[in-house]
Amino acid sequence: MRVLVTGASGRLGRVVLPTLLGEGFAVRAMSRHRRDDPRVEWVVADLSTGEGLAGAVRGVEAVLHLASAPGGGRTHDVDVLGTRRLVVAAGAAGVRHLVHVSIVGIDRVPFGYYRHKLAAEEVVRAGEVPWSILRATQFPVFLDELLRAASRLGPTVGDRAVLAQPVDPGEVASRLAARLAAGPSRAVEDFGGPQVLRFDEAVCAWRAARQSRRPLLPIRIPGRLGRALRSGGLTTTATPTGTRTWADYLADTYEGTGRR
């Protein structure tokens, strides 16, 4: 099966490409800028303008839609309007399956970026291309970056009761490969990590892995956002889950480094 992967140069895309190749897929990778990779056919296209999309979807049986723009003022153009352009182009090209990657909790957590992701899902569901949607929980590296940013001034600042469920991107990539092989589900599937962690639990393990003595300075996120995050808005009870834990990520990243 020949698959077009949008957002192929992104954080998840860099993991997805070797996974798909290992599963025997023929991969056409798409990004806004030209790349050199002898393993895949690389094409240049821009979701925010539609330039190059018709050629990118021509001749593929499925599209794996990873591309997103969470910041920089491009979110609506890329995630909503760009997804619409992609769906229309894929329909015109006779693509038989579009797999869209989304985020667990976008329908429960009142956050601006999530509103755009939810709108993108609605575009996919309304399109003529048979579809599947996989919502994933947070990648461990994202939680790691969040904790480093929250520790810039010394203590680690955060709401101790916020719940997270880190999932390994390699396991998400494997789940996506399986979904492509299975064909369109016309359903929204959640996929999360094996553990739900409170923020203070995640911080404690992170400090130990980094051999850090930074204290936790607790704050309470106010309003609807805080309530949604504390009540597990970013977590899922769906099965199956991934198997790699936050502790596994920390051991791989920091074991023996003594980074503070």
For residue 103, give the CATH number of its domain.
Answer: 3.40.50.720
Q: Which of 29-43, 67-81, 86-100 has the highest mean pLDDT?
A: 86-100
Model confidence band, residue 25 (pLDDT cutoffs 50, 70, 90): very high
Percent of the chain's residues with pLDDT above 70: 98
pLDDT digits (tens, 9 = 90+) for 102-152: 999 999 999 999 999 999 999 999 999 999 999 999 999 999 999 999 999
pLDDT digits (tens, 9 = 90+) for 165-181: 999 999 999 999 999 99
- Beta pairing partners, 157: 217
Model confidence band, residue 213 (pLDDT cutoffs 50, 70, 90): confident
Residue 256: its pLDDT value, please? 59
Query: Which whole number is the average pLDDT over 70-93?
Result: 94
Query: Which whole number is the average pLDDT over 204-215?
Result: 93
Residue 38 in any domain: the answer is yes
Residue 135: its pLDDT value, please? 98
Q: Which range marks the domain in which residue 30 is found?
A: 2-137+169-191
Burial zone of 239 (CB within 10 Å; 0-12 exposed, 13-18 middle, 19+ buried) = exposed
d(CA 117, CA 119): 5
DSSP the chain: -EEEEETTTSTTHHHHHHHHHHTT-EEEEEESS----TTSEEEE--TTT-TTHHHHHTT-SEEEE-----STT-HIIIIIIIHHHHHHHHHHTT--EEEEEEETTTTTS--HHHHHHHHHHHHHHHSSS-EEEEEE---HHHHHHHHHHTTTTSSEEE-TT-EE----HHHHHHHHHHHHHH----SEEEE--S--EEHHHHHHHHHHHTT--PPEEE----HHHHHHHHTTTT----SS-----HHHHHHHHHTTT---
Residue 77 in any domain: the answer is yes
Residue 19 in any domain: the answer is yes
Model confidence band, residue 257 (pLDDT cutoffs 50, 70, 90): low
pTM (predicted TM-score): 0.94
Residue 171: its pLDDT value, please? 98
Residue 146 in any domain: the answer is no
Residue 216 in any domain: the answer is no
Q: Total domain count for the chain?
A: 1
Residue 210 in any domain: the answer is no
Angle at 185 between CA 42 and CA 246, to 5 degrees: 70
Residue 17 in any domain: the answer is yes
Residue 162: its pLDDT value, please? 98
